[in-house]
Amino acid sequence: MYTEVLRSIEGIAIFPIMSLLVFVTFFTAMLIWASRLGPDRLAMFARMPLDTTDDRAVPSDQPSQGDSRDREAR
Amino acid sequence: MPPAVSAAPEPSLSPDAETFAYDNAVVRKFIVATAGWGIVAFLVGLTIALKLVFPGFLAFIPQLSYGRLRPLHTNAAIFAFAGNALFVGVYYSLQRLCKARMFSDKLSAIHFWGWQLIIVSAALTLPFGFTTSKEYAELEWPIDIAIALVWVTFGVNLIGTVLTRRVRHMYVSIWFYLATFITVALLHIVNSLELPVSFLKSYSVYAGVQDALVQWWYGHNAVAFFLTTPFLGIMYYFIPKAANRPVFSYRLSIVHFWALIFLYIWAGPHHLLYTALPDWAQSLGTAFSIMLIAPSWGGMVNGLLTLRGAWDRVREDPVLKFLVIGVTAYGMSTFEGPMMSLKSVNALTHYTDYVIGHVHLGALAWNGGLAFAMLYYILPRIYGTRLFSVRLANLHFWLASLGILAYSIPLYIGGITQSLMWREFGADGALRYPNFLETVVRIIPMYALRVVGGSLFMAGALVAIYNLYRTARSGVFEPDTVDRAPALAPVAGREHGWHRALEARPTQFAVLTFIAIAIGGFIEYVPTALIQSNVPTIAAVKPYTPLELEGRDLYIREGCVGCHSQMIRPIRAETERYGEYSKAGEFVYDHPFLWGSKRTGPDLQREGGKYPDSWHFLHMRTPASTSPGSIMPAYTWLYSSTLDDSHIEGKIITLRRLGVPYPAGYERQAQADLRAQAEKIATGLRTSGVEAAPDQEVIALIAYLQRLGTDIKNKPAATVASVEGGR
């Protein structure tokens, strides 16, 4: 059923070759672009998760309610 | 979507800064679902692990038999536990990275409740034997449609949020989330193409080799794009947050993303090495699997090096501990995977419990580690409190870590031991262990140790849930977290570079991601579908008789494929043990294929004619009676249930539509043929002293088993006629 649909497409054999070329071209372009990115911009992107005021500071490494005995012992 | 409220200008913000609120309510719902379904998944896993040690455990309930529970376990672990966990991560981090509330609260609610409904319907259908039998895609067609609709709802909400963001650059986590949405949609729809017979029964539109290729293109990439890419997005957000420092190399994360999504999609055929799949496709799968080490390890190194200078905090902070163990396990799994895709290694590990050890390292440590890290990070924050107990979290960490080791190591040892026994020859050139059971009995202690490991992991999860519950009780839930940011201004002038421009345009980005993942699938699949010579037709291979077809559907219902493969590899140890290796042309009428992926029991491809009908009759009622020491469960209900052949007409019509050459009008003859064949088998059984009725379900199963692999032993009628005519 579906194989007939695929077979009916004119010149379908060229598609995989074109796909591979798109793959290699895009990938090469991406590598070149990534290697030439400026350090300032990269640093700005990298800081994005930290650039927020929404998270209330709740350090999980502080003694907590359930560890109160532990805290008292100190 | 609540409208953004204009707020009074603040010194640090531009005058047009808007006030908006992040939706924590949907995050909390997914947290509860992750914890609840996680326990269900672990409990079902523990149950089936116990069944391999004590085959009689809960054996009297058909719905709780090993074959039916195994897909429930895998589906619960992947889609219920890890699925809900990934939604926790996406809904929490996406809003904050976009500085925007989710696009639509209504879509968030539809997504959440729709997803839970799908999980419940899986729990209500799989134990009752409603399954397509394709691994991790077992759910029947109405649920498949629901999955597609709910997934699209998630996607619209995701893309809508990205489009309404207040930050120009899309952080790398969002790229991983977009790739997840697009690829899973494509994989699910393509692999689930099936033609319904009735409300809960369908046949895959693909057959045999093509079905196997599509299934493992899906199966492999379900791991890639459901269990890996969204969790990498989570890693890139939560490691910097928890360590309070930016990701080690953003440049590396860009290369990581594109390399991973380009390469992953090609690697599916490594699940089918040495099978009847065309050799070029197998080699392609292996080559891309090896290449995958580079981006995978790039990502792992990027995650771990983000902690440079903060390793002292890993000792103290349970969030970081779980993140570190998760990312480390990701590195181990992504090295192990490519090694297992080398043909020589694969010949040893495939079909064994080594693979089960491998996937649990990934599922428990990578997905579980990141999931619990997220829960420990997010919950105190949305409740405005501290984690109830760091000591309990540390206890959880050690229980989980030791549990993972106690689970995986015995299965690694058991898998290799069994595989070596399968392939060992004596000095006389014969198999050293010709009885498959000898190799099973040897590794039962490993199965018992695995139960210990699983129990430890589950105990840890229960401690975590208690800790999180107490944390929630000690705080006050904040359904909305308010934040402020200026609206996104239109870009004046030229964007800086094509990729930069792309990042600002999520739709184009999504289209490109789609092209990237479509390329691999296209190149793999199209030649197999197009070139008829890839699947040489064998004239002697004929469609199943109606009774055999019903028997095959019972085989699917009982999940026999979970323990028995039907694929003999062209390896001497296998052909000696099982017979002639499997040919692609033998499976052309198999909708779906039933090659399997694990041999807890022996391969059944050449089972037909190996034993008399009476042997099968006794074996399935009391397996140990014919095979002392067998851990196969007894299928007593096949003897008390009457075969339901009311759908046979529809089944024949459906299969003919899919290309199985049943003659026109045969559906009207099918039921009579079915009953005649059943009567013949029952009569034969009675002759050999076994009391059997023709309408028992087991009769149909015997008919199917006796047919398996026998076609190529028969000379095709045309050949016989021409030979005789030539005399």
Residue range B371-418, pLDDT digits in tens: 999 999 999 999 999 999 999 999 999 999 999 999 999 999 999 999
Q: Is the pLDDT of residue B8 over 50?
A: no
Residue where the block lists tokens 């895709």: B341
- What would the pLDDT profile of B409-467 be if each residue is shown by its tens digit? 999 999 999 999 999 999 999 999 999 999 999 999 999 999 999 999 999 999 999 99
Quick: pLDDT tens for B568-609.
Answer: 999 999 999 999 999 888 999 999 999 999 999 999 999 999
Question: Can you tell me the distance from the alpha carbon of B559 to that of B557, in angstroms, rounded to the nearest whole number?
Answer: 5
Give the range among B37-51, B373-387, B634-648, B707-721 with minimum mean pLDDT. B707-721
Both tokens of B514, joined, read: 């789609």
B contacts of A3 (beta carbons < 8 Å): 529-530
- Given a cut of 50, is residue B6 above it in pLDDT? no
Which B residues 9-38 touch A at CB under 8 Å?
22
Q: How far is CA B595 from CA B8, B52, B139, B207, in A?
A: 66, 21, 18, 11
Helix (H) or strand (E) holding B416: helix B390-422
Q: Which residue of B has its CA nearest to A12?
A: B526
B254 in contact with A, Cβ within 8 Å: yes
Greater confidence, A52 or B455?
B455
pLDDT bucket at A71, cuts 50 / 70 / 90: very low
Res B223: pLDDT = 84
Mutate to test the interface with A, among B514, B519, B531, B656 (most CBs of A within 10 A): B519
| A32 Cβ under 8 Å from any chain B Cβ | no
Percent helix, strand and coil across chain A, each rounded to 5? 65, 0, 35
* Burial class of residue B184, CB neighbours in 10 A (0-12, 13-18, 19+): buried
The reported pLDDT for the residue numbered B534 is 52
Residue reference for tokens 């994989």: B187
For residue B14, pLDDT beyond 90: no
Contact residues on chain B for A65, CB-CB shorter than 8 A: 386, 388-389, 470, 474
- The pLDDT-based confidence of B532 (bands split at 50, 70, 90) is low
Asked if the Cβ–Cβ distance from A46 to B250 is below 8 Å, we say yes
Higher pLDDT, B209 or B403: B403
- Please report the pLDDT score of residue A10 as a whole number: 66
Quick one: pLDDT band at residue B497, thresholds 50, 70, 90? low
For residue B365 the two structure tokens come to: 């440590």
Task: Give the pLDDT confidence score for residue B652 in this predicted structure.
Answer: 97
Residues 68-97 of B with CB under 8 A from A: 93, 96-97
Asked whether the predicted pLDDT for residue A51 surpasses 90, the reply is no
pLDDT for residue B275: 78
How confident is residue A1, by pLDDT bands cut at 50, 70 and 90? Answer: very low
Tell me whether B386 touches chain A (CB under 8 Å). yes
Query: Would the CA dihedral through B147, B90, B483, B33 be positive or negative?
Result: positive
User: What backbone torsions phi and psi does residue B633 show, to the nearest 5 degrees?
Assistant: -70, 155
Closest partner residue to B481 among A35, A54, A65, by Cβ? Answer: A54
Structure tokens at B39: 């326990």
Nearest Cα residue in chain B from A42: B250
Average pLDDT over residues B132-161: 96
Contact A52/B96, CB-based, under 8 Å? yes
Does B445 reach chain A within 8 Å, measured CB to CB? Answer: no
- pLDDT confidence tier of residue B334, bands split at 50, 70 and 90: very high
- Predicted complex ipTM exceeds 0.90: no
Verify whether the Cβ–Cβ distance B526 to A15 is below 8 Å. yes
pLDDT band at A72 (very low <50, low <70, confident <90, very high): very low
- CB of A70 within 8 Å of any CB in chain B? yes
Residue of B nearest to A45 (CA): B171
Average pLDDT over residues B515-542: 70
Given pLDDT bands bounded at 50, 70 and 90, which one contains residue A63? low
Model confidence at B283, in pLDDT bands (50, 70, 90)?
confident
Question: Which two tokens mark B203?
Answer: 């046949």
Q: Supply the pLDDT for residue B507.
A: 77
Q: Is residue B524 over pLDDT 80?
A: no
Question: B610 — contact with chain A (CB < 8 Å)?
Answer: no
Average pLDDT over residues A18-24: 77
Residues of A in contact with B469 (CB under 8 A): none
pLDDT of B225 over the 50 cut: yes
B417 and B63 in contact (C-beta within 8 Å)? no
Note the pLDDT of residue B529. 63
The residue that leads in pLDDT, A25 or A16, is: A25
Pick A16's closest partner by Cβ from B313, B391, B523.
B523
